[in-house]
């Protein structure tokens, strides 16, 4: 475990289903604000109890998805690669993320204008390689650009299932050599790349992938994920991980869960840099 885990979160004061930009969103099935708040607080408290220093981004009216801080950008040491959202409704979040990172001592880097890139939602280090999801939200060109800037190996993975529209909804590195994933979210090439670059790869069953079991937060040897993933908990236990379930169904309505609600600031457990 990294010595001082820090995670950025944004309270769901203004969270809601106000538009539909992924197959999970349905405006007629709005979220229950009080319940969302309760679930978010439980997640925050769980992380705090694990020794995580939770930083708070002030919520903003009119930006319901600002709670999903994982999409703010990609953190690499003191650099913050700010996202270029594919959808305008989310692009409005960027100034708030940028301001927070600039105020907290990060160098804010912007990608060239014609690239789409949705931050840690689509770019996850596992070992020294940056695994990058593309085609649905981020595009492959942006990832290659970041790879050049950082001098790291970028392995783009095509996402082929619109329900798993970000890489962090179907892939979660546990350590430099272990990860969980949902195979059907990837094309045969992507599966092969994962299989040949991650020594231990645990496949999450479909029912639990649909509960966003892969959208988990790893702190040391503890994995925090949504409820309803008993098989995943067993798989993790076999690898020596403790599984903590926190119900986050109000956020699943927007296509997000534990991982989407957090952004690790000091480097993920699985990242080697």
Partner 1 sequence: MSDARFVEEVEIQGHIIDSLLLPKILDEILTRGGSYEIRDIRIGKKQTDPSYARIQVRADSQEALDDILDQIHDHGAVPTHVADCETQPADIAGAYPEGFYCTTNFRTQVRLQGEWIDVEDQEMDCGILIDPEGAAARCIPMTQVQVGDRIVVGRRGVRVFPIEQQGRKELFEFMSSAVSSEKPKGVTVREIAQAMKRTKAAGEKILAVLGPAVVHTGGSELVCRLIREGYLHILFAGNALATHDMEQAFYGTSLGISLDRGLPAEEGHEHHLRTINRIRRIGGIRPAVERGILTSGIMYECVRHGIPYVLAGSIRDDGPIPDVITDTLAAQAEMRRHIPGVGMCLMVATTLHSIATGNLLPAWVKVACIDINPSTVTKLMDRGSVQTIGIVSDAEPFLRSLVSELNRSD
Q: By CB under 8 A, is residue 157 in contact with partner 1?
A: yes
Q: Is 77 in the site for partner 1 (CB under 8 A)?
A: no
Q: Is 170 a catalytic residue?
A: no
3-state secondary structure 2-35: CCCCEEEECCCCCCCCCCCCCCCCCCCCCCCHHH
**Which residue lies nearer to partner 1 by CB, 170 or 217?**
170
Q: How many of the other CB atoms lie within 10 Å of CB of 107?
A: 12
Catalytic hit among 166, 170, 172, 225: 166
In angstroms, give the least distance from the CB of 158 to partner 1.
7
**CB 139 to partner 1: min, Å:** 7
What's the closest the beta carbon of residue 126 comes to partner 1, in angstroms? 13
Q: Coil, helix or strand for 263?
A: strand
Parallel, antiparallel or unpaired: strands 171-173 and 153-158: unpaired
Distance CA 9, CA 200 (A): 30
> Is 260 an active-site residue?
yes
CA triple 200-170-244, angle to 5 deg? 75
Query: How many residues sit in the footprint of partner 1 (CB under 8 A)?
Result: 23
Token duo for residue 210? 């649909």
How far does the chain reach from its first CA to its final CA, in angstroms? 14
- Residues numbered 133-152 forming contacts with partner 1, rule: CB under 8 A: 134-135, 139-141, 143-144, 147-148, 151-152
Binding partner 1 by CB under 8 A: which of 64, 73, 133, 156? 156
Is 110 a binder of partner 1 (CB under 8 A)?
no
Minimum CB distance to partner 1 smaller for 42 or for 86: 86
**Site membership for partner 1, residue 153 (CB under 8 A):** yes
The CA–CA distances, whole Å, from 43 to 47, 50, 166, 251 equal 6, 11, 21, 12
Q: Which is nearer to partner 1, 54 or 160 (CB)?
A: 160
DSSP-assigned letter for residue 58 = P
Binding mask 244-273 for partner 1 (x = CB under 8 A): ------------------------------
With a CB cutoff of 8 Å and minimum separation 6, the contacts of 34 are none
Q: How far is the CB of 85 from partner 1 (least distance, A)?
A: 18
Residues that bind partner 1 (CB under 8 A): 128-129, 134-135, 139-141, 143-144, 147-148, 151-158, 189, 192-193, 197
């Amino acid at each position: 475990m990294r010595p001082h885990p820090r995670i950025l979160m944004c309270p769901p004061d203004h969270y809601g289903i106000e538009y539909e930009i992924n197959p999970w969103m349905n405006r007629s099935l709005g979220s229950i604000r009080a319940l969302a708040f309760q679930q978010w607080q439980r997640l925050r408290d769980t992380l705090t109890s694990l020794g995580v220093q939770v930083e708070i981004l002030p919520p903003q009216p009119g930006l319901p998805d600002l709670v999903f801080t994982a999409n703010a950008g990609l953190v690499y040491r003191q650099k913050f690669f700010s996202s270029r959202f594919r959808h305008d409704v989310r692009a409005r979040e960027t100034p708030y993320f940028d301001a927070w990172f600039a105020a907290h001592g990060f160098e804010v880097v912007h990608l060239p204008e014609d690239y789409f890139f949705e931050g840690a939602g689509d770019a996850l280090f596992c070992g020294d390689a940056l695994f990058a999801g593309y085609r649905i939200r981020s595009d492959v060109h942006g990832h290659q650009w970041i790879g050049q800037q950082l001098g790291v190996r970028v392995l783009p993975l095509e996402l082929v299932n619109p329900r798993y529209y970000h890489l962090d909804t179907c892939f979660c590195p546990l350590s430099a050599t272990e990860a969980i994933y949902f195979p059907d979210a990837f094309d045969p090439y992507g599966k092969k790349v994962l299989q040949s670059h991650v020594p231990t790869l645990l496949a999450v069953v479909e029912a639990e992938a649909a509960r966003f079991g892969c959208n988990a937060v790893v702190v040391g040897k503890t994995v925090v994920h949504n409820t309803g993933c008993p098989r995943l908990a067993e798989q993790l236990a076999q690898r020596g991980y403790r599984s903590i379930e926190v119900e986050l169904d109000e956020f699943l309505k927007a296509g997000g869960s534990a991982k989407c609600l957090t952004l690790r600031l000091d480097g993920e457990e699985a990242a080697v840099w």
